[in-house]
């Protein structure tokens, strides 16, 4: 039995390794094709840059420590946005689940807020909250909080009704049903919501930095566009993608730990 388990684990590990190799191959082919088309003049390097120039600029910024300063500012703002927005969103969704009448009252307002273009309202939010880190974090929170509330509440509603009835038959209070059944059974769903929030928080942070910041990845990208330095723009986008991916991986590992603890 142990031998069979070891074989299955080895098979799964080999599958994961092959998947990573395929993903790296796709990335290498994409970058190689981009470099080739730029070198042969098929695409305009002024508009699209090329990987070799982006890498040179990346090394230059790393050596001067300027890049890490901008990365730290953006990552700090994004993490604040994710934590505050996710915690508030889950808390509000929990309150809505507990108070059904409140849900009926707030439902149309939440749908209207969800439909509003938050990025278009970003300048107003920054004026209200301030032109520093607070304003940028508020923009990030505004983009993710409503969708967090709606998604979390929907997950709460989808819990097996028979399990709820069974707990009610044992005289469990609504609060006991929530923290013993509703919330624990939705941990995987909540992790998925937080993964989505990573991308949404980054959108808010970059928009905020476009508008008011003099530091951060959003500022680097905007500045590169203003001076028509596409190498800088592409480098900023590339670093942004790496940061978002690493944050996603961290949340995924936390999810695995939480689910392993439940099994």
Q: Per-residue pLDDT tens, the chain, 263 aa: give them.
A: 566 667 777 777 888 888 889 989 998 999 999 999 988 888 888 878 888 888 999 999 888 888 899 999 999 999 999 999 999 999 999 999 999 899 899 988 888 888 888 878 888 888 888 878 888 999 999 999 999 999 999 989 888 888 888 888 888 888 888 988 888 888 888 888 999 999 999 999 999 998 888 888 999 999 888 888 888 999 999 999 999 999 999 988 888 887 775 65
The pLDDT value recorded for residue 263 is 56
Choose which CATH entry (3.40.1550.10, 1.10.3720.10, 3.20.20.140, 2.130.10.10) describes domain 64-262: 1.10.3720.10
pLDDT at 89: 94
Predicted local distance difference test score (pLDDT) of residue 148:
93
- Angle, vertex CA 142, rays to CA 122 and CA 113, nearest 5: 100
- String of b and e for 192-207 (b: at least 16 CB within 10 Å)? ebbeebbebbbbbbbb
Report the pLDDT value the prediction gives residue 262, as an integer from 0 to 100: 60
What pLDDT, on a 0 to 100 scale, did the predictor assign at position 64?
87
Helix axes 51-63, 2-39, angle to 10 degrees: 100
Determine the Cα–Cα distance for residues 208 and 81; give it in Å rounded to an integer. Answer: 12
Determine the number of helices (DSSP H) and then strands (DSSP E) in the chain.
13, 0
Sign, CA torsion 56/62/65/70: positive
- Cα separations in angstroms, 100 against 199, 231, 251, 255: 31, 53, 31, 29
Inter-residue long-range contacts of 42-46, CB under 8 Å, 24+ positions, other chains counted? 46/228, 46/230
Q: How far is CA 244 from CA 84, 196, 199, in A?
A: 17, 11, 7
Q: What is the pLDDT of residue 153?
A: 92
Looking at residue 118, what is its pLDDT? Answer: 80
pLDDT of amino acid 129: 84
Rounded Cα gap, residues 231 and 218, in angstroms? 14
Please give the pLDDT value at position 174.
87
User: Which of 47, 60, 52, 76 lies closest to 217, judged by CA?
Assistant: 76
């Amino acid at each position: 039995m142990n031998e069979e388990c070891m074989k299955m684990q080895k098979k799964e590990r080999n599958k994961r390794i092959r998947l990573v190799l395929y993903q790296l191959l796709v990335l290498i082919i994409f970058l190689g094709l981009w470099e080739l088309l730029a070198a042969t003049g098929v695409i305009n390097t002024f508009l699209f840059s090329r990987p070799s120039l982006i890498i040179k600029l990346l090394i230059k910024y790393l050596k001067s420590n300027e890049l890490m300063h901008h990365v730290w500012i953006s990552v700090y703002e994004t993490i604040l946005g994710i934590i505050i927005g996710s915690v508030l969103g889950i808390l509000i969704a929990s309150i809505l689940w507990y108070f059904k009448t409140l849900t009926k009252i707030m439902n149309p307002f939440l749908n209207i807020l969800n439909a509003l273009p938050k990025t278009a309202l970003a300048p107003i939010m920054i004026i209200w909250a301030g032109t520093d880190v607070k304003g940028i974090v508020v923009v990030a929170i505004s983009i993710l909080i409503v969708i967090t509330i709606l998604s979390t509440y929907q997950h709460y509603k989808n819990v097996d009704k028979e399990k709820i009835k069974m707990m009610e038959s044992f005289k469990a209070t609504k609060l006991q049903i929530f923290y013993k059944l509703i919330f624990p059974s939705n941990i995987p769903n909540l992790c998925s919501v937080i993964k989505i929030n990573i991308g949404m928080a980054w959108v808010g942070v970059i928009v905020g930095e476009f508008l008011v910041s003099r530091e951060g990845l959003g500022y680097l990208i905007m500045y590169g566009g203003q001076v028509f330095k596409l190498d800088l723009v592409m480098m900023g986008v590339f670093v942004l993608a790496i940061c978002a991916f690493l944050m996603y991986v961290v949340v995924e590992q936390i999810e695995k730990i939480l689910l392993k603890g439940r099994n």
